[in-house]
Structure 1
Amino acid sequence: MTNDESKHIILSPPLALRNMPISELRKEAYKILKNVNAKGGCLIAHPFRAYKQTMLDGKIKSVWYPSIHFHVVGFGWLDHIAENYRRSGWIVKNKGTRESNYGTIRYILSHAGTKKGYHTLTWFGDLSYSKLIMPKYENELNLCPYCSEKLVHVLPCNDLLDEPPPQMMECLVNAKEWFIPEYPIFC
């Protein structure tokens, strides 16, 4: 398992902390992940766990009970897990790599806890929101439909062209009647 492969990790807080608000537990979970060398990923809160119970008719039913824990799909070479448990009481389970991040996250979200005004899935570490750099794209509306060059703002040289024409139209006009404000000319 290399540092480049994503892993499914489960974090369970000690019983003494389970009554804390999820927002506070989430902050503690980030600290624990840093302590065990998780480099980044997404964290999803689950306020309940399920156990299988066989009913009198022989059918198996899932029974849900309160037990806050967190699922992580993330990166990093996890270590110091036993030491972390002795020090903090948090249980960290490395469920290993998965065939599909999409499938894993989809399954985790299918029964995650949600609360209005809070994100169900949050990003941390090297994949956190502040580390995301979006490339700048030219808006297609700012490109010339004829030559695909970037459009520039132009102003009329005379008073006859200070208002738009009565009807909208696309056409090429006499360039001598217009100027670019960045390069002023005297008409």
Structure 2
Amino acid sequence: MFTNPTTRMKVGMPENRTPVSMDVPVLRSLIDASNPTRAACGSLLVFLGLRPHQLRSLHVTDIVDGRLHIEGRKILLAPQARAALNGYPSYREPKRLNSGNPHLFINQATAGRLTPVTGKWINKVLGASAQALREDRILDKAHASEGDARRLADLFGLTVNAAQRYTATVDHVSFAEHQRRQGQSTDS
């Protein structure tokens, strides 16, 4: 009797909701945070749009000469991200003294092991969803590039279909209205 080996495999569904931008004060609070871990994590997400698992799996040796070396690419760090990352090692060192964990971000639970921190821990440190921060960065780039799906695919490692989810918002009326309201609320 034949048993289908794919019956228990989960393949997921394509995302179909329209991405929305985050409030500017939330983004600023992440970058300017007094907590060095929050500032470093937030800066990497806000400026580079890393995937949450990429952020979790970063090693101390992945940052060299103001560049992030990740998945075969070298990404120049924004000055604010570089400043946040420069301040982080001195904060991190007391936790790392007896740790062989090579990951950039560690906590008390992972310091004695070689595993990365969890996604839940990253979200707790940030006070926001790491995925939402990534989506905000991609959405911002979609508008800056006037809807260039290929550029988004290349910069953020998306498929063209996934990039089109963001480019569809470029001329979207409700998104433009939301942006207009955001501008008014930050001016007052």
Q: Normalising by structure 2, report the TM-score.
A: 0.20
Which is richer in helix?
A: 2
Indicate the structure (1 or 2) with the bigger Cα radius of gyration.
1
Which is richer in strand?
A: 1
